[in-house]
Each structure stands twice: as C-alpha cells, then as structure tokens.
Amino acid sequence: MKSKAIMVGFLILIVSVFCCNVHDDDYSILKGPYLGQNPPGMTPEIFAPGIITTYYHEHSSPAFSPDGKEVFWSVFFNFYGPQVIVWMNFENGLWKVPEVAPFSGQYTDGNPVFTRDGKKLYFESHRPVQKDGEYTGNIDLWVVKRNEKGWEEPEHLGWTINSTKWERGPSISDNGNLYFASWREGGFGASDIYRSRFVNGRFLEPENLGSTINTKGYENWPFIAPDESYLLFESDEGSICISFRRKDSTWSEPISMAKELGTFQSQDRFPKLSFDGRYLFFVSSRRIGKRFFERRLNLSEVKRRALTVGNGFGDVYWVDAKIIEELKPKELR
C-alpha cells in the first residue's frame, strides 16, 4: 500500500511539474493540426517548444493518430525514474494539457506508434509479462487496443516477436508488417533491425534485414514507410540513415542524413513520418547556442539556462518530408 501511494505521488509530481513548464497562455494557440505549430521548411526546427519539447529528456518522436486528434510520446523526467508515455487529445477545438497515458505510468514505457486505422498503439515496455508477475527489466514489445470506451489493458506481443533479449522501436507498415530492433542471438551486431510479416492475423517469425542494413554495431529505432518503400533508422554512428527498397525487394546501401538534418556532434534518433506524409520527426541531443556563456553567470542564471529546450538532453525536431524524396536514388524515382 505504501509503495502504491509513493508511485501515485510520483505521477502527480510528474504531471504537475510538466504542466508548469508550459504557461497557460501557450495553450490558447493550440487550435489546429500539429498543435497549431508553424510548419517547418527544409531545415529542421524544434517542434512545439515548451509543450512537447521541454527541458526534460524526450525519448521518442510524437506519434499522432491518423485523424490528428491525439498525440503520444515518451519522456524521461529524470534518469532514475521510469520513462512514461505522455499524451494530449484534441477536444472542442482545443488541445488539452498533457497527461500520462492511461496505460502508462508505473513501468518504463516508450516509443509509441499508431496503426493506420488508429485502433492500436504499439510500444516498448519494461513491465512484467504477467500481471503481478516478476519484474525482469527486459524490454519487450506490447500493443494496446482502443475500444468504444477508450484504451484497453496492454497485451504482450508474445514470444514469436519477443525474446529473452531487448526488443525496441516498433514500426508498422500499412499492410501490418512489424519492423523493430532486437538484441536477440544470431544477428550481425549488438542490435539489428528485423521484420515480421503479418499474415492471416498473426506475426510470423522475424527476419533479419541482412548485412546491407545491419552492421557489427547498433542499428536502432526503425521507421518503415507506409508502403515499405524505404526504411529510416539510427545508425551505429548516432545519425539517421535511410535505405530504399529496390524493385527486386533488396535494400539499397544506407544513406546518412547527417548533412540534411544538420547532425553535428550530436545524436539523432527516433525518426517518424507523419501519417499525412508531410513531416519527418526525430529527436536530437544537439545543443542550441555556444558552448560557453557570453558573460559570467551566477548560479541562478546558470540553472535557468539549463532548464530550457536545446540543453542537449534530447529535443523533438521536425522537417519537411520532401527531404526524403531528394535523397532517393535516380533509378528509383
């Protein structure tokens, strides 16, 4: 009972502190698509500063529902507490204040992604496989379904998809195929990207995408195009790469997007395309400003500078998705 009371108090603190990071008048403008933010061009811009992008550690790109009326994303409010999935919904012409998602808040949950019909949300989690079961710290893939009353209890994806190692970063194509990163045995490196075909209502045994995509290092956080025509992922070097599917279903050599995304002495990860295909979201550890202050600051000023977006903890960026088409090899256009 005491532990539950502590957890409830912790969640109340998370939400109250998170909301205090956004001024009330900031929400008065959140009336349109993508929280009423001005669309970006071909240069990445911070998305929704003070609302989704905060001085905390955003640890996924936002997952907007297909109808654009909900958005989920994951955040580490501190590195010693659990990562939680946060959500906002659009009602009566306004976006509501962020809250912990109904199915999150006790264990580390992250990287939510919608299916095209908006009825399912896939995510990764540390939670025990069995309710009230033993906590192992392993990361598995889960799904939560929506019914007429709201979100149901999350379901473990089972042991065809999950292993005794970590599985992370789910992504779903329009035909239901599941792409994800896994540390399972038999791969090319520390973590590889796999695909599980969705056939007759179930996922088949995952297939490693092969040595064109996977290396001896880490490949993480995949995003598969809705038609499976290209794949985005975080490379071992900490930049986002893109590979295009050829007509013979093989993958082209990955192309680093570091130049296009402005990756420099930072880690870019969690690529995700909006359902309308207009914007590419990602998370970056890049810092805004110089690596020194323009003058000597006192402690209060230093702390205030730290509690801003662009502090290097991980911020959400977005950019015009035309950047993807420009990287496509001529023979595939």
Task: Supply the mean pLDDT for the chain.
Answer: 89
- The whole-number average pLDDT for the span 96-116 is 96
- The whole-number average pLDDT for the span 212-218 is 96
Compute the distance between CA of residue 218 and CA of residue 233 in angstroms, rounded to an integer: 10
In the chain the domains, ranked by start, together with CATH numbers, are: 2-332 (2.120.10.30)
At 333, is the pLDDT very low, low, confident or very high (cuts 50, 70, 90)?
Answer: confident
Q: Which residue reads 């792409």 in tokens?
A: 179
Compute the distance between CA of residue 221 and CA of residue 179 in angstroms, rounded to an integer: 9
> What are the counts of helices (DSSP H) followed by strands (DSSP E) for the chain?
4, 25
- The whole-number average pLDDT for the span 146-168 is 95
> Two tokens at 191?
């973590």
Percent of residues, the chain, with pLDDT higher than 70: 91
pLDDT at 23 over 90: no
CA dihedral for 285, 290, 291, 292, sign (positive or negative): negative
Name the burial class of residue 298, with classes exposed (0-12), middle (13-18) and buried (19+) by CB atoms within 10 angstroms of its CB.
Answer: exposed
Q: What is the pLDDT of residue 329?
A: 87
Q: What is the pLDDT of residue 26?
A: 52
Q: What is the pLDDT of residue 137?
A: 78
Half-sphere exposure of 137 (CA within 13 A, CB side): 0
Name the burial class of residue 224, with classes exposed (0-12), middle (13-18) and buried (19+) by CB atoms within 10 angstroms of its CB.
Answer: buried
Alpha helices (runs of H) in the chain, residue ranges in sequence order: 2-20, 258-261, 299-306, 322-327
CB atoms within 10 A of CB 165: 14
pLDDT at 20 over 60: no
Q: What is the pLDDT of residue 134?
A: 77
pLDDT at 17 over 70: no
User: Which range (31-40, 125-134, 253-262, 277-286) has the least confidence?
Assistant: 125-134
> pLDDT tens digits for 315-328?
999 999 999 999 99
Question: Which residues face 23 on adjacent strands?
Answer: none
The DSSP symbol for 286 reads: P
